């Protein structure tokens, strides 16, 4: 009697998509904390007496350790050496630690003085201690968040390579956008409901604990896949070696994608950090409603990123998709910079259009890295890309905060908030929007260079991902 053949976990659609759901849920939880304070810029500046520069410093903290201590690079090497399961769990624990520090700082547990004091050394001497320590907490969180990001990407590639890879990466990314959208919608109502400006961070801690439990379920399935491969005699790639970093560094296409990545995300994520305040000041949208407009950006990406990913899987044209997305980025920020375009329909339309660009580039960019870099080096390759990206995520918010304080203050306005008079600083956002537009212009340049390099080297970025 012939033996009944069993379907491999990787070949089982149910198993593949279950894995994607588990990994993506944790992505959603971590992205909530990443942007949970963005709608509360005014509240942080008023209640904690921060300046725009201090808010920018706190926001830039996300990249401090990843950039200056090279933690993201070490995370990528650790991922390739120790595997997805262990790296993922450690990353989530690190995120929890960072979120806790951030929560304590915003609640004043580290005092209300100036600077960050470690022994006889003082750092950020002209910055309030609460802002500096909140930045440290965000920096710790950033280490775990970025490392988990590359871990999730590698997990999706492991289960979907040769199948619906771009669609799966797009869905994983778009689920993270749900977290970003919730971070735009919910913080202001939560603060009004609870009276605590730190409550969104407390909620984030709870969500991250759920994310940890869900990821542990993923590790159970991943371990079964390892055992199945072992029983079937499948040979995995050789372990990561330090010389692999040099091999990645010699790849011109990799660097073109990396520079495109940092320019693109530098014009999107720092924009989100200031978008609520932009809506309040330029478009005169009320505090209660202002956070809802930027939320359209991740909501658009939620639906469109999987669509464009599926298109890339079936039709190809990955490099072309990145060119189109970069052009949209430039156009949107140029239009945002025009002072006379200040009506509500314009704000909604531009954010929705930016959401299309925000969907196009990531849907093609992350699967393209997997086409030009072997899987055994993929964790390190993603880490290098995220490392360069973190320079932008760290530096651009600092730059925008400094520019706002230095060149964009137009006066103050007094409003009644909860029965008390509160003074708000007024800003003109033309210069910051032009800075973002410059990033979009450079992104177009690198996208065209990538397209030319693909045509020369034949990486297949313009070809479909699904192999029949």
Q: How confident is the model at residue 2 (pLDDT cuts 50, 70, 90)?
A: very low
Using one digit for the tens of pLDDT, what is the confidence trace for 410-453? 988 877 666 677 777 899 999 999 999 999 999 999 999 999 99
Contacts 24+ apart (CB under 8 A), 218-224: 218/19, 218/22, 218/23, 218/85, 218/88, 218/155, 219/85, 219/88, 219/89, 221/9, 221/15, 221/18, 221/19, 221/22, 222/19, 222/84, 222/85, 222/155, 222/158, 223/85, 224/9
d(C-alpha 466, C-alpha 468), whole Å: 6
Identify the CA nearest to 253 among candidates 194, 152, 301, 322.
322
pTM for the full model?
0.78
> How many CB atoms lie under 10 A from the CB of residue 251?
18
Instruction: Give percent of the chain above pLDDT 70.
Output: 93
> How many CB atoms lie under 10 A from the CB of residue 19?
24
Domain boundary assignment for the chain: 13-231+238-457
Q: How confident is the model at residue 468 (pLDDT cuts 50, 70, 90)?
A: low
Q: Is 117 helix (H, G, I), strand (E, B) or coil?
A: strand
3-state secondary structure 167-182: HHHHHHHHHHHHHHHH
Residue 297's pLDDT is what? 85
Q: How confident is the model at residue 241 (pLDDT cuts 50, 70, 90)?
A: low
Q: What is the mean pLDDT of the chain?
A: 87
Q: Is the pLDDT of residue 120 over 70?
A: no
Taken in order 180, 127, 389, 282, the sign of the CA dihedral is positive
Burial of 228 per CB tally in 10 Å (0-12, 13-18, 19+): middle
Using one digit for the tens of pLDDT, what is the confidence trace for 73-112? 888 888 888 889 999 999 999 999 999 999 999 988 887 7
Instruction: Give percent of the chain above pLDDT 90.
Output: 45
Sequence-separated (6 or more) residues with CB below 8 Å from residue 278? 336, 429
* 363 against 259, higher pLDDT: 259
Residue 215's pLDDT is what? 96
* 177 against 329, higher pLDDT: 329
Residue 121's pLDDT is what? 65
Identify the CA nearest to 387 among candidates 94, 67, 61.
67
Q: How confident is the model at residue 167 (pLDDT cuts 50, 70, 90)?
A: confident
Mean pLDDT, rounded, for 209-233: 84
Residue 138's pLDDT is what? 94
| Ranges 178-187, 241-250, 409-418, most confident | 178-187
| 13-231+238-457 maps to CATH 1.20.1250.20 | yes
Mean pLDDT, rounded, for 163-188: 85
Using one digit for the tens of pLDDT, what is the confidence trace for 3-46? 444 556 778 888 889 999 999 999 999 999 888 888 888 888 88
Q: Report the alpha-carbon angle 73-79-84, nearest 5.
A: 145
Q: Is the pLDDT of residue 188 over 80?
A: yes
């Amino acid at each position: 009697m012939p033996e009944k053949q069993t379907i491999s976990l990787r070949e089982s659609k149910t198993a593949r998509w279950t894995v994607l759901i588990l990994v993506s849920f944790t992505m959603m939880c971590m992205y909530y904390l990443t942007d949970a304070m963005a709608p509360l810029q005014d509240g942080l500046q008023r209640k904690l007496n921060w300046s725009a520069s201090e808010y920018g410093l706190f926001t830039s903290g996300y990249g401090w350790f990843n950039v200056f201590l090279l933690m993201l690079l070490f995370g990528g090497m650790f991922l390739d050496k120790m595997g997805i399961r262990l790296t993922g769990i450690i990353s989530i624990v690190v995120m929890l630690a960072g979120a806790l520090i951030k929560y304590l700082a915003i609640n004043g547990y580290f005092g209300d003085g100036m600077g960050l004091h470690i022994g006889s050394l003082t750092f950020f001497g002209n910055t309030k201690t609460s802002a500096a320590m909140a930045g440290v907490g965000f920096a710790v969180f950033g280490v775990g968040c970025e490392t988990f990001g590359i871990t999730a990407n590698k997990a999706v590639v492991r289960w979907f390579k040769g199948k619906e890879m771009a669609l799966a990466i797009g869905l994983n990314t778009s689920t993270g956008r749900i977290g970003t959208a919730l971070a735009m919608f919910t913080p202001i109502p939560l603060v009004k409901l609870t009276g605590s400006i730190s409550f969104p961070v407390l909620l984030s801690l709870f969500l991250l604990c759920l994310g940890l439990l869900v990821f542990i379920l993923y590790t159970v399935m991943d371990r079964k896949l390892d055992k199945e491969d072992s029983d079937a005699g499948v040979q995995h790639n050789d372990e990561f070696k330090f010389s692999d970093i040099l091999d990645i560094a010699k790849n011109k296409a990799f660097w073109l994608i990396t520079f495109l990545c940092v320019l693109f995300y530098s014009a999107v994520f720092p924009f989100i950090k200031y978008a609520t305040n932009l809506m309040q000041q330029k478009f005169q949208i009320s505090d209660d409603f202002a956070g809802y407009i930027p939320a359209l950006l991740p909501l658009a990406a939620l639906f469109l990123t999987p669509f464009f990913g599926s298109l890339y899987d079936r039709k190809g044209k990955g490099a072309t998709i990145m060119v189109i997305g970069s052009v949209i980025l430039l156009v949107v920020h140029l239009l945002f910079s025009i002072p006379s375009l200040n009506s509500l329909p314009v704000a909604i339309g531009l954010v929705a259009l930016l959401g299309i660009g925000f969907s196009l580039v990531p849907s093609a960019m992350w699967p393209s890295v997997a086409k030009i870099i072997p899987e055994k080096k993929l964790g390190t390759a993603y880490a290098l890309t995220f490392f360069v990206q973190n320079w932008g995520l760290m530096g651009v918010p600092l730059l925008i905060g400094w520019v706002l304080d230095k060149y964009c203050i137009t006066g103050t306005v007094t409003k009644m908030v909860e029965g008390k008079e509160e003074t708000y600083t007024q800003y003109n956002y033309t210069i910051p929007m032009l800075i973002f537009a410059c990033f979009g212009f450079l992104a177009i340049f690198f996208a065209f260079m990538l397209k030319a390099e693909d045509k020369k080297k034949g990486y297949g970025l313009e070809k479909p991902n699904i192999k029949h």
